[in-house]
Amino acid sequence: MFGKQAKTEAQQMADEKFLTSCDKSFTSRTEASNFFMERGWEYYNEGQADTAVYRFNLAWLLNPDNHNTYWAFGLVEYSKGNSKVAIDMYERALKYQPNNSLLLSDAGTALVSQFNTDKKKKNLKQAAAYLDRAVAIDSANAFALSGLSQVRYHQKKYAEAWDYLHKGRDINMQSLDYNFLAELMVRMPDPKGMFRNEAQPAEQAQ
């Protein structure tokens, strides 16, 4: 799927052989698709992205309606710095899961990244829409809050950017982007005084 190229006859035969084998081993192709998705995530979490993508492709072949395959492709592409491709994958997944808060926040974050590259206001606007929806669905989505912090930064609403940053950080420390934090501190000191304006930002002991 991901290569977007016509398959050779040999490749088509290999696909059919694989599908036939799965039909004998699983109760349904949906079950088989989910199985290969799980294996793909295992490889992805171990840092073996190429092997993971191969498993994700098998999952897609088994069930093109498995929205998790598109989500996975998006995460892989985003990790490679391919925000534009990632956005396309996320939006395919959103057609199946339009109210998935984490998926919305991933799509919004990728759009912010794309805005950083091309400065197209439509990307920032769409990012804000996705992230606002993500928070409306799940107010504890720290990554959506972190994304909204970056949106407000680009809108030059620095006080609001700090507010969202702190809210996200309070929920999940992993949502904190230290590179962005350094940029925000240049524009406006931390109103809470939690972060110092130094080369290496440090958190005040809680």
**So what's the pLDDT on residue 139?**
98
pLDDT band at 155 (very low <50, low <70, confident <90, very high): very high
Q: Is the pLDDT of residue 200 over 90?
A: no
Residues 61 and 3: their CA atoms lie apart, in Å, by 13
Residues 145 and 136: their CA atoms lie apart, in Å, by 11
**66 and 139 share a domain?**
no
**pLDDT digits 0-9 by tens, 22-39:** 999 999 999 999 999 999
Per the structure, the count of domains in the chain is 2
CATH code at 28?
1.25.40
Among the residues of 63-120, which ranges form H helices? 67-79, 83-96, 101-118
**So what's the pLDDT on residue 1?**
62
Mean pLDDT for the stretch of residues 167-184 = 96
**So what's the pLDDT on residue 201?**
44
**44 and 136 share a domain?**
no
Mean pLDDT for the stretch of residues 40-64 = 95
Percent over 90 (pLDDT), the chain: 87
Give backbone dihedrals phi and psi of 34, rounded to 5 degrees, phi first.
Answer: -65, -35
Question: What does pTM read for this prediction?
Answer: 0.88
Tokens for 179, please give them.
């590179």
**What single letter denotes the amino acid at residue 92?**
R
Q: Which of these three, 55, 81, 107, is where a domain ends?
A: 81
CATH code at 139?
1.25.40.10
**190 and 112 share a domain?**
yes
**117 and 192 share a domain?**
yes
Tokens for 125, please give them.
């606007």
Q: Which has the closest alpha carbon to 168: 195, 190, 196, 140?
A: 140
Structural domain of residue 167, as residue ranges?
99-206
Residue 77 and residue 53 in contact, taking contact as beta carbons nearer than 8 Å: no
**50 and 103 share a domain?**
no
CA distances from 75 to 102, 130, 172, 173 (A): 12, 16, 19, 20
**pLDDT digits 0-9 by tens, 121-152:** 999 999 999 999 999 999 999 999 999 999 99
Across the chain, mean pLDDT equals: 93
**So what's the pLDDT on residue 198?**
59
**So what's the pLDDT on residue 205?**
41
**pLDDT digits 0-9 by tens, 69-113:** 999 999 999 999 999 999 999 999 999 999 999 999 999 999 999
**62 and 111 share a domain?**
no
